[in-house]
Amino acid sequence: MSKADSDRGEHKLSRASVGRFSLYLRHLERLHREGTATVSSSLLGEALAITDAQVRKDLAYLGNLGQPGIGYPTQELIEALRHRLGTDRTWKAVVVGAGNLARALLRYRGFERQGFHFVALFDSSPEKVGQIVEGLEVLPTAKMAEAMPALGAELGVLAVPADAAQEVADELTAAGIRGILNFAPTVLRLPTGVSLVAVDLAVQLEQLAFLVHLTQETGDTR
Amino acid sequence: MSKADSDRGEHKLSRASVGRFSLYLRHLERLHREGTATVSSSLLGEALAITDAQVRKDLAYLGNLGQPGIGYPTQELIEALRHRLGTDRTWKAVVVGAGNLARALLRYRGFERQGFHFVALFDSSPEKVGQIVEGLEVLPTAKMAEAMPALGAELGVLAVPADAAQEVADELTAAGIRGILNFAPTVLRLPTGVSLVAVDLAVQLEQLAFLVHLTQETGDTR
């Protein structure tokens, strides 16, 4: 689906494991807030629709944290996951493209809670520049390279139309961005050392249609 | 990441293959529009940053379409992919939650081109009901079950806050929806026979941070 996907074999962890780690983290944080001190792999798996065996395999990657008959200490597991995922620190991000998607992203409170801080919003449209969107002033894309050093952002979110995406990605990369989350329905070419996660919304819907299609075709009622 | 992910081993095709199929389809459609009659696995792979071997393995699943020294006939490959993905037909979908994300989704032209037709938009907020969003009148969520038979929608897109997601998913399921695309950052429980694809935006950003973190940690400059 993305460059990162095709590279998965070269990482120690698969993209799927990383996705599950995020889910574990979110669920464990909820358990911790509710005062749960320990959790078993089977309860964690049950809550997230992941097999017990898979949970134990994933968590073994974090070290020997589980104790037979007791389970995993919730808080230690949270800390180990955050450390492993690199979210025990703050990440600054910029958003390019001040449309509805950017508004939805900036409004979503979950990001701040996970340590993601949106520090700037850029757009190339003169009508949008200067507007305030969710507390951020829209800055001209042309000023991106100039503004970036002071912003200290490492991540860039691309919420621009497909035909503008590669150009903006090149500008973000030139400005020192280390990773791009791409919502534009296009394949980006990035230099080595710059990470990419692509979220193509049409692909997600297509995959859903495929799963429904497969269920109908095979009479599979899972 | 989702129920579907944890079930991947039970499908004949992995979720990753299905994701790549969508990418192949998009790229082949572009080549076809440009008048390219045949394409090689290596050119296809190069354009999408997927290895030649992986492309050949994926496309073999569609039958013996490739010809040594010539490549794959573009149009036949497009038809085979559409048939396999279930997108050689129209899919009707409803959106629940008339916020910025819904606006971004409804405005995105790519869906119609891929055969997805949004037929209704629901929201539980009395202020939003009756508004026109991208040509659709916002209908009250309470009327969903009643409205659904006439709409003939099979897919539902959940763009509501996390704490409302399970309830709305239950209502969609009761109304006969066959598949749900969930944007709410929560794990949904769905009955057997209802497919799920989850897009948790915070998880995507977390995965990007993880990839950047890993690159920094290992000095891996890929």
Number of helices and strands in chain B (H, E): 10, 9
**Ramachandran region of residue B49, left (φ > 0), alpha (ψ -120 to 50) or beta?**
left
Structure tokens at B86: 């279930």
B176 touches chain A (CB under 8 A): no
Report the residue of A95, A117, A211 to disrupt the B interface, i.e. the one with the largest count of B CBs within 10 Å. A211
CATH architecture of structural domain A91-203: 3-Layer(aba) Sandwich (3.40)
- Which residues 6+ apart lie within 8 Å of B212 measured at CB? A86, A91, A154, A155, A178, A179, A195
pTM: 0.74
Nearest residue in B to A107, CA atom = B100
Single-letter code of the amino acid located at A79: E
* Closest of B216, B204, B9, B7 to residue A18, by C-alpha: B204
CATH architecture of structural domain A3-84: Orthogonal Bundle (1.10)
Q: Number of CB pairs < 8 Å for A and B?
A: 236
Q: Tell me the C-alpha distance between A195 and A155, whole Å.
A: 9
Domain edges within chain B? 3-85, 91-203
Distance from the A2 Cα atom to the nearest Cα atom in chain B, whole angstroms: 8
Measured CA to CA in angstroms, residue B41 lies from B49, B62, B83 at distances of 12, 14, 20
Per-residue pLDDT of chain A (222 residues; tens, 9 = 90+): 344 433 333 345 666 677 788 888 888 988 998 899 999 998 888 887 778 888 998 898 888 888 888 899 999 999 998 888 888 889 999 999 999 989 988 987 778 877 889 999 999 999 999 999 999 999 999 999 999 999 999 999 999 988 899 999 999 999 999 999 999 878 899 999 999 988 878 778 888 888 888 777 665 444
First to last CA, chain B: 25
CATH architecture of structural domain B3-85: Orthogonal Bundle (1.10)
Distance from the A187 Cα atom to the nearest Cα atom in chain B, whole angstroms: 7
Nearest residue in A to B99, CA atom = A104
- Helix/strand/coil for B8: helix
B61 touches chain A (CB under 8 A): no
A195 touches chain B (CB under 8 A): yes
- Do B122 and B89 meet the contact criterion of CB atoms below 8 Å apart? no
Per-residue pLDDT of chain B (222 residues; tens, 9 = 90+): 344 433 333 335 666 677 788 888 888 988 998 899 999 998 888 887 778 888 898 898 888 888 888 899 999 999 998 888 888 889 999 999 999 989 988 987 778 877 889 999 999 999 999 999 999 999 999 999 999 999 999 999 999 988 899 999 999 999 999 999 999 878 899 999 999 988 878 778 888 888 888 777 665 444
Is the ipTM higher than 0.85? The answer is: no
Choose the closest CB to A208 out of B108, B185, B197.
Answer: B197
Cross-chain Cβ contact B5/A15 below 8 Å: no
Cross-chain Cβ contact A178/B207 below 8 Å: no
